[in-house]
Amino acid sequence: TANMLSLGTFALLQNPAQLAALRADPALTDRAVEELLRYLSVAKTFMRTALEDVELGGQTIEAGTTVVLSYNTANRDPERFDDPHVLDLQRQDVAGHLAFSHGIHQCLGQQLARVEMRVAFRALVDRFPALRLAVPAEEVVLRPETADIYGVKSLPVTWDKE
């Protein structure tokens, strides 16, 4: 959850219109959490083993073959999500993202993570209305692409006293 909170904050600060919409409409919080989960999955890849031969995209995956799944790629599938590379807190088709996996492999803590994110993002936008990046976005340090969990290594922010 900590990685998702920092990534989500970074994404919101890079998308001021979306951040303003969230600040203006508390009812948007639930949908914002789901969209941020879709847009920035912290679990990048997982491996699964085919239990039987499967035909997928014109290719046969034989039983016993290890398959690497990219949640970020699946969550940005243009056949599943309209404008998948755009952060849109008003997105209507956000359900069905794979941020917490799917089926029997779903994350058991997903409901707790959602509650934590709802509370944290709501508190963040309410308490710090002038929150902004303290450095250019290009200088924000992210975990390396080779890391199992994607996240922000450091997120320098600042705000004005109101």
- Residues 35-58: pLDDT tens digits? 999 999 888 788 889 999 999 889
Q: In sequence order, what are the residues at sequence separation of 6 or more whose Cβ sits closer than 8 angstroms to the Cβ of residue 49?
A: 64, 65, 66, 67
Q: What is the pLDDT of residue 46?
A: 83
Cα-based distances in Å from 91 to 18, 34, 35, 119, 134: 11, 9, 7, 20, 29
Considering the chain, what is the average pLDDT of its residues? Answer: 91
The rounded distance, in Å, linking the Cα atoms of 48 and 148 is 15
CA 53 to mean position of chain CA atoms: 31
Strand partners, 152: 142
The rounded distance, in Å, linking the Cα atoms of 131 and 154 is 16
Mean pLDDT of 13-33: 97
The rounded distance, in Å, linking the Cα atoms of 101 and 71 is 8
Q: What is the pLDDT of residue 162?
A: 66
Domains of the chain by start residue, with CATH: 2-158 (1.10.630.10)
pLDDT band at 70 (very low <50, low <70, confident <90, very high): confident
Question: Exposed, middle or buried, 116 (CB in 10 Å: 0-12/13-18/19+)?
Answer: middle
The rounded distance, in Å, linking the Cα atoms of 105 and 122 is 29
Closest CA relative to residue 48, chosen from 73, 61, 72, 65: 65
- Residues 89-138: pLDDT tens digits? 999 888 889 888 888 888 888 899 999 999 999 999 999 999 999 999 99
Written as one letter, the residue type at 75 is N
